[in-house]
Amino acid sequence: MKFPNGPQIPAVLQMLRWVVNPISFMEDCAKSYGEIFSIRLDKNLPPIVIVSNPQAQQQILTNDTKELEAPGDLNQVFEPLLGKHSVITISGAEHQRQRQLLMPPFHGDRMRNYSQVITDVTQKVISQYPIGKSFNIRSATQAITLRVIMQAVFGLNEGTRAEKLQNFLRELLEKASSRLSVALVYFPALQRDFGPINFWGKQIRLQQEIDQLIYEEIRERREQPDSSRTDILSLLMAAKDEAGQSMTDKELRDELMTLLVAGHETTATALAWALYWIHKIPSVRQKLLQELDSLGDNPDPSTVFKLPYLNAVCSETLRIYPVAIFTFPRKVRTPISLGGYELEPGTVILGSIYLTHHQEDIYPEPKQFKPERFLERQFSAYEYLPFGGGARRCIGLAFAQLEMKLALAKILSSTELKLVNNGEVRPKRRGLVTGPDRPIEMVVMSQRQVKSPILQTSTV
Ligand code: HEM
């Protein structure tokens, strides 16, 4: 039986590379062993198979119920943060039910409700930075995405509870993104709580503060129902499954936490990368401004959403350094053939989004930021997959794309920014996703006026 090759160094050293710098580990493995290889992170467990070839990606992403089992318990690493009932940590019928309950707030027309919030919050945050003073752009984009998701989920961003929740979340995610925290997730024996000096214990206490605030909000909503509310929490509380059952408080807590975390960390990083590339390559900024300025002041969000070059810049941003470098893992249920290899039941497979996005035959000069590639050709759903695919495809895809485009449009047309240092920034592990390996410092040069309003349109 042929099994994919992989590095022969001890599992503990592979785990170390995985925790410290998964991208360089993956790139080295791909160079030596090709598009399908295996790694071993625990000497007592079978190796994990990593795939990057689009046909294999398609096979694992579209085969959830037959030969392959979708994440659920394989996503245990997310449990400390998101809980046991999060759509990310469950599988099978339970996952399908939760997904159906969660999807409606992220569909078509609902998106339009979020446009104004995104534009207003972006304007508010970016105008807080004084001319001439440098700041870390990721802090700004995180402030935007955290406020936007708070408004979308709870319908409010002011008041003591909202403020406390935002602060606790920011602190918790900052801690959760450190390497130490990731090591604790992968080596659970280190998670013992020794009191206030214990790192993991501190995270648990922060988590408890957040839970208390979320449960208070749920309780208040149950006591004083208001059918006119359109925020995600209200929609989720009103939603019923096929058996007429609504979500329990515990389920609601875990899904809210999932949306708050998945819904802002990822988009904040994507926006920071987009601003980095736009300002690093002057021709990109110039073309983008030309396109944006052609819409005049206060352009219609749906027109902004359809701008071809803006779309290409966002797509290329998520191609070159995808925030999630892997899709969720899948486990083999019945023996399968994958890319010429035979895989036995129990084998875990991970789709490497990063390696697929860096295949030279699909993306010539893959290390170069070239938005034009998205204007010149279309890529299949398994060649380009920053949001994963199949039954687990990102629920917030449309929300994230809308937020990226509207926030970028607002920032670029209202503010002239500059990178403080034009040196290279590379991706590194940031918790269970990735982010810039150093702060991307930017400075506001001046406020900007739209140059040539050709087309004036109304807001939604
Ligand atoms: C640029 C921003 C984002 C990126 C790159 C991203 C990426 C991903 C990826 C790769 C997956 C795994 C898909 C798979 O394994 O097939 C995922 C799942 C998920 N994402 Fe996102 N995401 C983003 C923004 C968001 C937003 C804004 C939300 C919600 C408001 C969200 C909520 C979720 C949820 C709930 C899942 C789990 C779906 C499931 O297990 O059924 N994400 N995302």
Instruction: Work out which ligand 1 atom sits closest to the CA atom of 388.
Output: 16
Q: How far is the CA of 396 from the centre of ligand 1 (A)?
A: 6
385 lines ligand 1 (CB under 6 A): no
Instruction: Return all residues near 332 (Cβ < 8 A) that are at least 6 apart.
Output: 67, 68, 69, 343, 344, 345, 346, 347, 348, 349
Distances (CA, A) of 399 to 300, 326, 448: 17, 20, 27
Query: Which protein residue has the closest C-alpha to ligand 1 atom 20?
Result: 394
327 lines ligand 1 (CB under 6 A): yes
Residue 115: φ, ψ to 5°: -60, -50
Query: Which protein residue has the closest C-alpha to ligand 1 atom 40?
Result: 88
Q: How far is the CA of 189 from the centre of ligand 1 (A)?
A: 29
Distance, in Å, from the CA atom of 84 to the CA atom of 68, rounded to the nearest integer, reads: 21
- Are 172 and 9 in contact by the 8 Å Cβ rule? The answer is no
CA 449 to chain centre: 32
Instruction: Work out which ligand 1 atom sits closest to the CA atom of 404.
Output: 1
Query: Which protein residue has the closest C-alpha to ligand 1 atom 27?
Result: 263
134-136 vs 441-447, strand pairing mode = antiparallel
395 lines ligand 1 (CB under 6 A): yes
Tabulate helix, strand, coil % of the chain (nearest 5): 55, 10, 35
> pTM score, two decimals?
0.91
Residue 339 has a CB neighbour count (10 Å cut-off) of 16
Domain boundaries, the chain: 11-447
393 lines ligand 1 (CB under 6 A): yes
110 lines ligand 1 (CB under 6 A): no
Distance, in Å, from the CA atom of 55 to the CA atom of 70, rounded to the nearest integer, reads: 18
Q: How far is the CA of 70 from the centre of ligand 1 (A)?
A: 15
324 lines ligand 1 (CB under 6 A): yes
* CATH architecture, domain defined by 11-447: Orthogonal Bundle (1.10)
Q: How far is the CA of 162 from the centre of ligand 1 (A)?
A: 23
Q: How far is the CA of 386 from the centre of ligand 1 (A)?
A: 9
What is the per-residue pLDDT for 11?
93
List the structure tokens of 118. 């995104």
263 lines ligand 1 (CB under 6 A): yes
Instruction: Return all residues near 305 (Cβ < 8 A) that are at least 6 apart.
Output: 401, 402, 405, 406
90 lines ligand 1 (CB under 6 A): no
Distance, in Å, from the CA atom of 337 to the CA atom of 356, rounded to the nearest integer, reads: 20
Pocket test for ligand 1, best of 69, 107, 387, 401 (most atoms within 8 A of CB): 387
- Are 339 and 36 in contact by the 8 Å Cβ rule? The answer is yes
Helix 11-20, helix 22-33: angle, nearest 10: 120
Query: Which protein residue has the closest C-alpha to ligand 1 atom 3?
Result: 266
What is the per-residue pLDDT for 414?
94
Edge-first strand listing for the sheet containing 48-51: 36-39, 48-51, 348-351, 330-332, 68-69
What is the per-residue pLDDT for 324?
93
Q: Strand pairing partners for 114?
A: none
What is the per-residue pLDDT for 68?
72
What is the per-residue pLDDT for 87?
92
Phi-psi sector, 70: left (phi>0), alpha (psi -120 to 50), beta: beta
With tokens 């046991």, the residue in question is: 84
Q: Which amino acid is at 68?
A: L
Per-residue pLDDT of the chain (460 residues; tens, 9 = 90+): 689 999 999 999 999 998 889 999 999 999 999 999 999 988 888 899 999 999 999 998 887 666 676 665 667 778 878 889 999 988 888 898 999 999 988 887 778 889 999 999 999 999 999 999 999 999 999 999 999 999 998 887 667 888 899 899 888 887 776 655 555 555 555 555 545 445 567 778 889 999 999 999 999 999 988 888 888 999 899 988 888 999 999 999 999 999 998 888 899 999 999 999 999 999 999 999 999 999 988 899 999 999 999 999 999 999 999 999 999 888 888 888 999 999 998 899 999 999 999 999 999 999 999 999 999 999 999 999 999 998 899 999 999 999 999 999 999 999 999 999 999 999 998 877 889 999 999 999 998 876 655 443 433 3
Nearest to 66 by CA among 372, 257, 332: 332
Query: Which protein residue has the closest C-alpha to ligand 1 atom 18?
Result: 394
DSSP 226: -
399 lines ligand 1 (CB under 6 A): yes
179 lines ligand 1 (CB under 6 A): no
Question: Which of 319-336 are b and which e, b meaning 16 or more Cβ less than 10 Å from the residue's Cβ?
Answer: bbbbbbbbbbbbbbeeeb
Instruction: Work out which ligand 1 atom sits closest to the CA atom of 399.
Output: 27
